[in-house]
Amino acid sequence: MGDWYKADLAYIHDIGYGDFADQAAVEILVCFQAHQIELGLVVDLGCGSGIWADHLVQAGYQVLGIDISEAMIELARNRVPTAEFRMESLFTASLPTCQAVTALGEGLNYLFDAEHNSSRLGSIFQRIFDALESGGLFLFDLVEPGQVEQGQVSQGFREGDDWMVLVEKQEDLEKMILTRRIITFRQEGRLYRRDEEIHRQQLYNAEEIAEQLSQIGFQVQISNAYGEYELAIARKAITARKP
């Protein structure tokens, strides 16, 4: 469905950045228990390589994972064969009745899908509200402006035993767009294969998103963390409960 999170970047993201899903999962499960969500179906939007889905299945939940990346879906199916995974856009996917919906890792910010624009958020929020059982939860994190100073470009890298990733970021505050240029190197035999992806994210203000959710009928809380796990700069976690 697009040239995003192809095989090499999906592999690198899974092995090199999976700590986010692992650490957030522990705290979100505590949140589920606090809201008496102890079983049933959880819909995981932008499920990635299935790390969070694996935590859910081990805790006794049913899982439907949705992601636009074919490579990510393949990793998820291999990791959690007992869960259901579908390759499609989270902005157009039909949602079954469920106890919780999650979108971890900035899934609602990504502009991978031609259907994604700020005016469509209200539509997906309404579909999530309608799909949730009474007392159900919608948990997600999003990116706000502030990762990079206006007019500046940030650069960084990370490496593992058989891979390296270089990331260049810049923000356009007029259009509220964050652009990431991602260059990957993955070892194959004695050589390294190079690939490149451009990811664009629509930046949002968490307070404005919370207001949209409230108008639909959710009870909303904004935080800088999932429980005890603090998010990185310019990220917010939102917990929305259907009364």
pLDDT tens for the chain, 243 residues long, are 467 899 999 999 999 999 999 999 999 999 999 999 999 999 999 999 999 999 999 999 999 999 999 999 999 999 999 999 999 998 889 999 999 999 999 999 999 876 666 567 889 999 999 999 999 999 999 999 999 988 899 999 999 999 999 999 999 999 999 999 999 999 999 999 999 999 999 999 999 999 999 999 999 999 999 999 999 999 999 999 999
The length of the chain, given as a count of residues: 243
Domain boundaries, the chain: 7-144+204-241, 154-201
Rg (CA), the chain: 17
**Cα–Cα distance between 70 and 225 in angstroms, integer?**
29
The pLDDT assigned to 120 comes to 74
User: What is the CATH architecture assignment of 154-201?
Assistant: Single Sheet (2.20)
Tokens of 218: 């959710």
CB 160 within 8 A of CB 18: no
Task: Please give the torsion angle defined by the CA atoms of residues 133, 137, 143 and 145, in that order, rounded to the nearest 10 degrees.
Answer: 100
Q: Please, what is the angle between helix 70-79 and helix 51-58, to 10°? A: 30
Which pTM was predicted? Answer: 0.95
Pick the CATH number of 7-144+204-241 from 3.40.50.1820, 3.40.50.150, 3.40.50.1110, 1.10.1060.10: 3.40.50.150
Q: At what angle do helices 19-34 and 51-58 cross, to 10 degrees?
A: 40
Q: What is the pLDDT of residue 2?
A: 61
The residue behind tokens 């650069």 is: 155
Pairwise CA distance, residues 162 & 90, whole Å: 31
